[in-house]
Structure 1
């Protein structure tokens, strides 16, 4: 590769790194100073690249004009994968392996705002199948095992804000904010989430959240009738999820999630 090609590849990588940063902070947006600080780029370089993203509609300025958010073309690229999400094809073999090893129902979910979307469901050989959520259905973060695993990757302060926005739904599921935080703390300590009769009486679950890219996290979970998913087996299934998902990440050189441990008083 010659010098011009190297420079071109470097510019592309830098632009993509800015796009990822904007996507990670899309709700509130990022100023040029924040983009510069987070990316480690020179201000002039960050300004040149974000200007290009603006011109190509991959970024936009908010109404005030100081903060950058994702543009319409970035959104359109995301929408174009909705019915054939690459992450599903990437993780389908692992989902099938997990269902074969456990013989239980395996779910794959991804976070969308304050909810999780079910991308995949694989049934194992065990005759009692679990249908707590179907492909394409959504559920509030923290209600199911996969959603609890994903919620636990957030700070306690962010969890409190999510709870505040959906307090009525959480209370209908029997969850106060202290109870939800306690479940998240236990998830962080164990490394995996565990639920029982949160969605359906007599059904338990174990979930694990992991990164599939620099900005995307998903969660796998097992669902089974409670007598089958006892305390000892939950530990075994939690360990199975951690081990298999870690192997998948290592093969793709993806860094694991750093679980948050910032606490707030409630």
Structure 2
């Protein structure tokens, strides 16, 4: 399945939402968009454009979300950021919080042992959220930090997760992801993202040898829950000198061993 073949379908208008759920869907979309910039935040005009809504509508929704503490407006620059209620709602999922606490030292130890950067990405619908980042290697092209939210197909970790899913589900995710990519960046990166997917398919796990960002090599395997479904991915990122193509087999083994430990913790915490 080539990404370029999905461009026209992804750009086509979708059917109208049911009136009873339209406002809720818009509010959820707005929250998800706010969460993509947890540090820098959003200007009202940029947020409205990203959501495809007029400024007046987005401003009204934001006023409600700020009042409910789901969104925070920073006084210094008036940017909109995730609010404290987002964190408080997450406290209702203690098993997930325990898993992330248990995973943190494992991800850090893996990054040290492999002399690179390790990421733990969680699947969030058609997107991923970076839960953890460890390692001191300096990579100027890597702009993924805890809280970063992006379409699955933009990351080698997302590709590794999608490799475990049925074809119909993968197609639906890719349609959504291509639409997001076109809306934000145009079609310029689709060829590079397709190259990463094809390379990963050839090797049987997530492999990006500078396909998207020159000089940045990234590898990933899925992390599965107690039902065997990939809910996360463990990524290893570094330079071509560290993770060249000739080392793919042993690196895959290292990733799979570390992912198995994370999967064991997921089962332990009822995930």
* 1-structure distance, mates of 2:93, 2:153: 26
The structural deviation recorded for 1:130 is 6.5
Structure 2 vs 1, CA of residues 186 and 199 (structure 1 numbering), >3 Å: closer, same or farther?
same
Structure 2 vs 1, CA of residues 178 and 146 (structure 1 numbering), >3 Å: closer, same or farther?
closer
SS of 2:255 mapped into structure 1: helix
Q: CA RMSD in A?
A: 3.2
1:53 is matched with none
Structure 2 gap ranges (5+): 1-87
More helix by share: 2
Residues 142, 149 of structure 1: 8 Å contact kept: no
Match among 131, 143, 154 for residue 119 of structure 1: 131
Structure 2 vs 1, CA of residues 227 and 97 (structure 1 numbering), >3 Å: closer, same or farther?
same
Residues 207, 241 of structure 1: 8 Å contact kept: yes
2:233 is matched with 219
**Are 1:106 and 2:118 an aligned pair?**
yes
Residues 130, 224 of structure 1: 8 Å contact kept: no
Give the greater-gyration-radius structure (CA): 1
The structural deviation recorded for 1:250 is 5.0
Structure 2 vs 1, CA of residues 101 and 110 (structure 1 numbering), >3 Å: closer, same or farther?
same
* 2-structure distance, mates of 1:252, 1:229: 28
**Are 1:167 and 2:178 an aligned pair?**
yes
**Are 1:135 and 2:146 an aligned pair?**
yes
The structural deviation recorded for 1:208 is 0.8
* 1-structure distance, mates of 2:196, 2:108: 30
SS of 1:165 mapped into structure 2: helix
* 1-structure distance, mates of 2:261, 2:220: 16
The structural deviation recorded for 1:218 is 1.1
Structure 2 vs 1, CA of residues 180 and 224 (structure 1 numbering), >3 Å: closer, same or farther?
closer
The structural deviation recorded for 1:226 is 2.5
Q: Choose between structure 1 and 2 for higher RCO, CA contacts under 8 A separated by at least 6 residues.
A: 2
The structural deviation recorded for 1:183 is 4.7
Structure 1 gap ranges (5+): 1-75, 255-266
Structure 2 vs 1, CA of residues 136 and 228 (structure 1 numbering), >3 Å: closer, same or farther?
same
**Are 1:185 and 2:198 an aligned pair?**
no
The structural deviation recorded for 1:146 is 1.1
Residues 108, 220 of structure 1: 8 Å contact kept: yes
Residues 193, 208 of structure 1: 8 Å contact kept: yes
* 1-structure distance, mates of 2:142, 2:155: 12
Residues 210, 217 of structure 1: 8 Å contact kept: yes
2:242 is matched with 228
The structural deviation recorded for 1:201 is 2.1
Q: How high is the TM-score relative to the length of structure 2?
A: 0.54
Match among 216, 226, 229 for residue 203 of structure 1: 216
Residues 173, 198 of structure 1: 8 Å contact kept: no
Residues 105, 129 of structure 1: 8 Å contact kept: no
* 2-structure distance, mates of 1:164, 1:181: 15
Listed as ranges, the matches of 1:24-173 within 5 Å are 78=90, 80-81=92-93, 85-124=97-136, 126=137, 131-168=142-179, 169=181, 171-173=187-189
Q: Number of paired residues?
A: 174
SS of 1:219 mapped into structure 2: strand
Structure 2 vs 1, CA of residues 133 and 251 (structure 1 numbering), >3 Å: closer, same or farther?
closer
The structural deviation recorded for 1:143 is 1.7
Q: How high is the TM-score relative to the length of structure 1?
A: 0.55
1:68 is matched with none
